[in-house]
Amino acid sequence: MTTATMRALEELQAILGPRGWLAGEDMASFTVDIRGSYGGPALLVARPTSTQEVAAVVRVCARHGIAIVPQGGNTSLCGGAVPLTEGAACIVLSLARMNRIVSVDPLNFTMTVEAGCIVDDIREAAHEAGLLFAMNWGASGSAMIGGAISTNAGGLNVLRFGNTREQVLGLEVVLPDGRVWNGLRALRKDASGYDLKHLFIGAEGTLGVVTRAVLRLHARPPLEQTLYAAVSEPARLAELFALARATADADLTAFELIPGDMVELALRQQPAIVRPLDTRAHWYVLVRLAGRSDITAKLETFFSQAFEAGWVADAVLAASLSQEKNLWTLREEIAPLRRLRGKVLKWDASVPIDAIVPLLARAQECATAIHAASRVIAFGHVGDGNLHLSIWPEGTPGELAFDARCDQIVEAIDELIWALGGSICAEHGVGVENRRRVQGQKTALELELMAAIKSLFDPAGLLNPGKLFNP
Ligand SMILES: Cc1cc2nc3c(=O)[nH]c(=O)nc-3n(C[C@H](O)[C@H](O)[C@H](O)COP(=O)(O)OP(=O)(O)OC[C@H]3O[C@@H](n4cnc5c(N)ncnc54)[C@H](O)[C@@H]3O)c2cc1C
């Protein structure tokens, strides 16, 4: 370590105080990602408690050419929040100690929070105020709002309330030179020019450090109910979804697709889950409504019209909280089942809703053409056009011939998703994992504009280097 770097570290330690930084082995959980796939060395983990401290830390790093990796809950699934072995020396900037809910404003339907607030804690605070904060997903008990904003997180309520982008009204951000941009406005309408907050949402910490946010809250619908239906005409999935939308309107909160064989596997693996329906089908849908009244009647109307059209064969309505829970536990069990297969190729893809059925059919054709014994499994949020697509070899998990053809399959499926107008990164972001592949999704002009924005904000390239952009 050079004398200049040692001096920089002393400056950082003085700014942060004795409880505000970690070094040596204490940094272990901050320098490796959640799956143990990515990680690298850091000079120090900074744990500031205020925007002013963040700004002071950033100024010291800018002066000494030290890179900064902003980190929230470190639940990124693409290696976005940890140092890399390549590139400049860096610190991890953990927002975990900036976890105050600054205010809840029920008359304005907003909440102001610091970036290190856990997403589920924000939801709980909104609930206590009789309101709803929409963001919710498998890791929202650990993920922090600054990380969610920086990845434009999706999750379970996107169909009704939109992505994180739609939940953010204002932001405060420390820029790479240490200046603080105060955009903490609580406005639903503002036609005064470029809306800068949108640049930071989904920027994966490459343009600045989010320190506070004004979030949008919603009225809480008192009733919720789910219908589980056996699909008889998968080719008409888009029409089935359109019917649900037309029948339930804004009450529709989820429309999920689940493959029949994964349902059977989940029922075998988890005996506590009760089989919801005796009728066996290749596909099922879960349709959930939340509203003030008539949601059962709307679900019944949806079913009878879909049944008459020949699109569904049978269905069951959750008649109690435990039946409701049973249906969603079944849904949640599907994703982890993929681990049983060893090596599995996975996409979290989005396409226009009417391209979901073509994607399913053509992905199987594509994979089989490269490796005859390939199996495509998909499930996901039809209403968001978001499919979790997996491909694995039939027969022995991790079959060698399949392993040798993985790159070819990945390339072919990426191309297919793009040909259908889709994205290979519907959720989770780009991070390190997808930084090379995502180049193929953007036009030369988009890549040029993105690079220009990056160099305008961060000309020295010190904010989260090696992420989002292909070095
Ligand atoms: C079991 C599981 C289920 C998941 N399900 C979903 C899902 O359904 N939908 C979904 O979208 N994601 C999902 N994820 C991924 C992950 O939870 C989200 O990407 C989440 O938004 C990350 O939040 P975090 O606080 O953990 O951020 P981190 O992982 O710490 O960071 C993520 C990115 O944001 C940057 N960052 C973090 N904080 C800041 C800040 N304050 N300012 C600037 N940049 C910052 C980091 O540098 C990094 O690039 C899941 C993850 C797991 C483990």
**Tell me: the pLDDT tens digits for 402-430?**
888 999 999 999 999 999 999 999 999 99
Residue 147 beta carbon below 6 angstroms from any ligand 1 atom: yes
- Report which of 397, 229, 25 is spatially closest to residue 241, judged by C-alpha positions: 229
Q: Which residue from 31, 47, 93, 151 has its CB within 8 A of the most atoms of ligand 1, so it is best to mutate?
A: 151
Per-residue pLDDT tens over the stretch 109-157: 999 999 999 999 999 999 999 999 999 998 999 999 999 999 999 988 8
Give the other-Cβ count within 10 Å of 393's Cβ: 25
The percent of residues above 90 in pLDDT, for the chain, comes to 89
pLDDT (0 to 100) of residue 166: 97
- Report which of 319, 343, 356, 320 is spatially closest to residue 406, judged by C-alpha positions: 343
Residue pair 188/224 in contact (Cβ under 8 Å)? The answer is no
Span from the CA of 464 to the centroid of ligand 1 (angstroms): 14
Task: Average the pLDDT over 357-366 and give the result.
Answer: 94
Residue 144 beta carbon below 6 angstroms from any ligand 1 atom: yes
- Report which of 147, 59, 139, 38 is spatially closest to residue 96, judged by C-alpha positions: 147
Per-residue pLDDT tens over the stretch 161-194: 999 999 999 999 999 999 999 999 999 999 999 9
Residue ID of nearest Cα to ligand 1 atom 28: 74
Span from the CA of 210 to the centroid of ligand 1 (angstroms): 13
Per-residue pLDDT tens over the stretch 378-399: 998 999 999 999 998 887 666 7
Q: Which residue from 32, 68, 76 has its CB within 8 A of the most atoms of ligand 1, so it is best to mutate?
A: 76
pLDDT (0 to 100) of residue 398: 62
Residue 20 Cα to chain centre, angstroms: 29
Span from the CA of 281 to the centroid of ligand 1 (angstroms): 35
* SS3 annotation, the chain: CCHHHHHHHHHHHHHHCCCCEECHHHHHHHCECCCCCCECCCCCEECCCCHHHHHHHHHHHHHHCCEEEEECCCCCCCCCCCCCCCCCCEEEEECCCCCCEEEEECCCCEEEEECCCEHHHHHHHHHHCCEECCCCCCCCCCCEHHHHHHHCCCCCCHHHHCCHHHHEEEEEEECCCCCEEEECCCCCCCCCCCCCHHHHCCCCCCCCEEEEEEEECEECCCEEEEEEEEECCHHHHHHHHHHHHHHHHHHEEEEEEEEHHHHHHHHHHCCCCCCCCCCCCCEEEEEEEEECCCHHHHHHHHHHHHHHCCCEEEEEECCCHHHHHHHHHHHHHHHHHHHHHCCCEEEEEECCHHHHHHHHHHHHHHHHHHCCCEEEEEEEEHHHCEEEEEEEECCCCCCHHHHHHHHHHHHHHHHHHHHCCCECECCCCCCCCCCCHHHHHCCHHHHHHHHHHHHHHCCCCCECCCCCCCC
Q: What is the CA angle 465-470-471, rounded to 5?
A: 60
**204 CA: nearest ligand 1 atom:** 49
Residue 458 beta carbon below 6 angstroms from any ligand 1 atom: no
Span from the CA of 146 to the centroid of ligand 1 (angstroms): 8
Residue 467 beta carbon below 6 angstroms from any ligand 1 atom: yes
Task: Average the pLDDT over 269-281 and give the result.
Answer: 95
Q: Which residue from 150, 158, 458, 464 has its CB within 8 A of the most atoms of ligand 1, so it is best to mutate?
A: 150
pTM: 0.94
Residue 80 beta carbon below 6 angstroms from any ligand 1 atom: yes
Residue ID of nearest Cα to ligand 1 atom 36: 147
Span from the CA of 422 to the centroid of ligand 1 (angstroms): 22
Residue 237 Cα to chain centre, angstroms: 24
Task: Average the pLDDT over 7-17 and give the result.
Answer: 97
- Residue 87 pLDDT exceeds 90: no
pLDDT (0 to 100) of residue 336: 81
Span from the CA of 225 to the centroid of ligand 1 (angstroms): 29
Per-residue pLDDT tens over the stretch 40-70: 999 999 999 999 999 999 999 999 999 999 9
Residue 138 beta carbon below 6 angstroms from any ligand 1 atom: yes
pLDDT (0 to 100) of residue 397: 64
How confident is residue 339, by pLDDT bands cut at 50, 70 and 90?
confident
- Residue 27 pLDDT exceeds 70: yes
Q: Which residue from 91, 95, 180, 428 has its CB within 8 A of the most atoms of ligand 1, so it is best to mutate?
A: 428
pLDDT (0 to 100) of residue 402: 84
How confident is residue 401, by pLDDT bands cut at 50, 70 and 90?
confident
Q: What are phi and psi of 114, to 5 degrees?
A: -85, 160
**C-alpha distance across the termini of the chain, in Å:** 25
